[in-house]
Chains A and B, each alone.
Chain A
């Protein structure tokens, strides 16, 4: 450490890799003293002349402003204000071509000077050593000072660095050909520059301040040495003339032998670099209170009559500068802002100068020839030798051409300082720097896109989540309504559902099996009498057959509905038989017991015929109920199409039509059945049991059909609240599963012999809510027959058996559908 300091103090200068020696051309402009331009007709002050955000506009169109009056105030991070360069009227605030190779418009304040050049009140400080750190930073910030070397980095940010600074480096190298702005500034204003350095020393308290000046500026070196004599902490270091020694990283390497890390800033290694011009502006701001409103610009080139340095107000049109210095353009004249190496050709000269404009170069065709056509790279590696950043320019060039941006980043493209040394030495005249610039923009764009894409994804996901949540909430709202009903009602609904399903049974073998099971159960119900009663079974079977036959005959006669009737014949016969069997057994069981309902005393009669009649009556009652239910269902269904989505309309309409047809049929059949069967219980006479059976069968069939229709209607209606679950198959399968579960439980309950009802209720209440929540209408229609059926044990048993069979069939259907 001490060794390094000693070395620096001794005047040791290190070297950076690469570098070139282009013709200096500085003598053109460095002999004359700085002149002051006459006031231009208008000043175009761009709001953004630095790296960072725009300031907030303070003036408006038509407003009179004084020289040095702020036009903007700092708003966001890294924003520095701009000031009126002269007193006058704001004629317009509009986007104007900016000092950029693209000349893309930038919001600017256009001021028409009134010629008085009247200053605002200036806050001068005779002794800045008395000012606090924050006060100084504030002065620098409010004066609108940003780096005047090229990049335009806000100076107040640099001056307020929190990292400890060991070396403060003053960049007075000015390595680019033609430019002499800093040279003449140091010659004429060395004292002020040193004062600026001292302010920075006060702010940053570095161990040492090194001023680097190229050895082609002996006058400037002498002036600075003289001015800095009193301050032992300032060392004026002479560096050899080599381009680009004025690059920040290169200068650090030259003066301190340290290297700035690849993606780092000098402050990371305890170094801060300021430009001479910037320090002069700091001195002016602190001592004189003057904001940054003018700068020295070198106007040079062979087409300029009086090349030299001028004090130019910021916002002065370049045309004005050229005209004042005498300009005789050649055909296809190009005007370059900046030096010949890093500058850019301006698309128009109607552009106001900005804080970073250090040179206006108007060369003729001899001194700065138009580059010839690009030739193929011959891999001579001259560019790599010249590169001051130790990069591989030709590799970068290949990758840039093939748009391999990952490779470019791997090869540290962003360490390229765009000095142009590689392009200068290239024998194939490849515009290497331009390739890198494009690639840099592309990479930055891709990174920005990536960030944007990530944000878009985030927003998309958030939106999706929100939509799902909303949908769920909607569904829950629908669910909550039925769930809010009393437990009693729920039970009713569940029971009704089970019954409806039982009735709509049409699986032959299954119902037969179910019948057998039911019979077995019924027998158990009889209590101790467990002796087999085969004769009864045989009789039943015969009866069943007969009924089936009769039913078929009648069916063919009536042939009302072709679609559903034939399927139902057998089943209904079987069901009727079962019903009768149940009735018988229940009657027997009830003989032992004494308690009886309205129907039971009738069915208690010992004769089979009578029992059959009773069964028929029950069937009739059921049919009636079904018919009633049907009417209600019809109402529901006929209402549905109005509120339904178009897809459901058809289904509902069809269901309604079917239901209506069936209701009619049922009613008709019912009448017949009634006529036939009605006398039986009343007269107690031995009515022909065949007849009764037939009637019962018909009634049952009708009831079943009605129930089936009802179920269809129910499905149709239940779809409207649950329109989100599109597949019927699933619903059917679920319903089947539920029904099956219920049926099993019911059967189990029956096996326990006596008490069916309480358990059935229990089972029903345990059934999933989805089954219960079908429709309000179904719950209403079931209310009517609930009390009766609850009393009726045998009925319950039958229902259980049939329900199981039904469930199986439903599932089968579901499978077929899916």
Chain B
């Protein structure tokens, strides 16, 4: 009889928990793969395609499916490290042998050379180039991600990638600078 009660007790408990779990599985169902979102927030969102995928999100999905984490040159080593931490894999040098700290650049159109072909406008993944057919184009520097994608299509090579100007806001102390000794 005791055995019977035990079975009933365990069985009913199992049933209750099963129902709770089943309910939770439906009620709190996670849409999509949350890891992709997390990876996507780590990626620099330059949408440059240097990883071989058409944008940051496709690469995030690829990483979630087991692709290498070191294919993002604009993110540099810090992004790779964050990805390694998130995915629980070993850190590795950047695939293209790029420098650890990429120099941030923005596109600059030499406006007197621009012929107004709109090719760069079509290439820009974030719509950061302004212009119209046979009108001069210009780059919205605040929106430019420095992805390089506009440089190649330009038929007159009037787009330069310039390093982001140093301001007081982003200036950093140089602690490892060798002290200058003036000899006179």
**A residues at B contact (CB < 8 Å):** 98, 100-102, 104, 106, 331-332, 403, 431, 434-435, 437-438, 441-442, 444-445, 449, 452-457, 459-460, 462-464
Contacts and interface: CB of A to CB of B under 8 A. Distances in A.
Nearest to A456: B45
Interface in B169-184: 169-173, 175, 181-182
A441 B170 contact: yes
B175 A100 contact: no
17 contacts: A100-B168, A104-B171, A106-B168, A332-B182, A434-B175, A435-B175, A438-B172, A441-B172, A452-B145, A453-B43, A453-B44, A456-B46, A457-B45, A459-B126, A460-B55, A462-B127, A463-B127
A444 B168 CA distance: 12
Contacts, number: 68
A455 B128 CA distance: 11
Contacts of A331: 182
Contacts of B181: 332
Contact of A104 (B56, B125, B166, B173): B166
A457 B128 contact: no
A459 B128 contact: yes
A456 B171 contact: no
B143 A456 contact: yes
Nearest to B47: A460
B173 A437 contact: yes
Given A100-B168, A104-B171, A453-B45, 11 more contacts: A332-B181, A332-B182, A431-B175, A437-B173, A445-B170, A453-B44, A456-B46, A457-B40, A457-B57, A459-B128, A460-B125
A484 to B, nearest CB: 31
Contacts of A456: 45-47, 126, 143, 145
A100 B45 CA distance: 33
Contacts of A403: 78
B167 interface: yes
Given A437-B173, A454-B45, A460 B168 contact: no
Nearest to A445: B170
A438 B175 contact: yes
Contacts of A449: 44
**Most chain A Cβ neighbours within 10 Å, of B46, B125, B172:** B172
Contacts of B170: 441, 445
A350 to B, nearest CB: 17
Given A98-B168, A459-B128, A463-B126, A434 B173 contact: yes
Given A454-B45, A456-B126, A444 B171 contact: no
Given A98-B168, A104-B167, A460-B47, A455 B173 contact: no
A459 B127 contact: yes
Contacts of B175: 431, 434-435, 438
Contacts of A332: 181-182
A445 B101 CA distance: 14
A118 to B, nearest CB: 34
Contacts of A464: 55
A776 to B, nearest CB: 32
Kindly state the interface size class of chain B when it binds its partner: 20 to 34
Main SS class of interface, B: loop
Q: Which of B43, B166, B168, B182 has the most CB of A within 10 A?
A: B168
A504 to B, nearest CB: 40
B84 to A, nearest CB: 14
A457 B169 contact: no
B134 to A, nearest CB: 22
Contacts of B55: 460, 464
Interface in B35-60: 40, 43-47, 55-57
Interface string B65-104: 0000000000000100000000000000000000000000
Contacts of B46: 456
A332 B181 CA distance: 8
Given A456-B143, A460-B125, A460-B126, A102 B47 contact: no
Contacts of B143: 455-456, 459
B127 A102 contact: no
Nearest to A446: B78
A462 B125 CA distance: 10
Contacts of A101: 171, 173
A106 B169 CA distance: 12
Contacts of A100: 168, 171
A459 B182 CA distance: 51
A780 B167 CA distance: 70
B31 to A, nearest CB: 17
Contacts of A441: 169-172
A379 to B, nearest CB: 20
Nearest to B167: A104
Nearest to B166: A104
Q: Which 4 A-B pairs have the closest CB atoms?
A: A453-B45, A459-B126, A456-B45, A102-B171
A343 B175 CA distance: 16
A15 to B, nearest CB: 32
A232 to B, nearest CB: 44
A805 to B, nearest CB: 44
A457 B56 CA distance: 8
A51 B181 CA distance: 34
A403 B143 CA distance: 27
A438 B175 CA distance: 9
A469 to B, nearest CB: 14
Interface string B138-161: 000011010000000000000000
B45 A104 contact: no
B111 to A, nearest CB: 21
A104 B55 CA distance: 36
Contact of A442 (B40, B126, B172, B182): B172
Contacts of A104: 166-168, 171
Nearest to A464: B55
A442 B173 CA distance: 11
A431 B46 CA distance: 35
Contacts of B168: 98, 100, 102, 104, 106
A234 to B, nearest CB: 37
A449 B45 CA distance: 10
A449 B43 CA distance: 11
Interface string B105-142: 00000000000000000000111100000000000001
Contacts of B145: 452, 456
Contacts of B127: 459, 462-463
Contacts of B78: 403
A446 to B, nearest CB: 9
A431 B128 CA distance: 41
Nearest to A434: B173
A102 B175 CA distance: 13
Nearest to A461: B57
A484 B126 CA distance: 37
B105 to A, nearest CB: 13
Given A431-B175, A438-B175, A455-B143, A463 B45 contact: no
Among B47, B125, B167, the most chain A Cβ lie within 10 Å of the Cβ of B47
From B78, B143, B145, residue with most partner A Cβ within 10 Å: B145
Interface in B20-45: 40, 43-45
A457 B125 CA distance: 9
Contacts of B44: 449, 453
B148 to A, nearest CB: 14
B172 A444 contact: no
Nearest to B77: A403
B43 to A, nearest CB: 8
Contacts of B56: 457, 460
A445 B173 CA distance: 14
> Most chain-B CB neighbours within 10 Å: which of A100, A435, A438, A460?
A460
A455 to B, nearest CB: 7
Among B44, B45, B47, B143, the most chain A Cβ lie within 10 Å of the Cβ of B45
Nearest to B165: A104
Nearest to B176: A374
A435 B172 CA distance: 10
Contacts of B167: 104
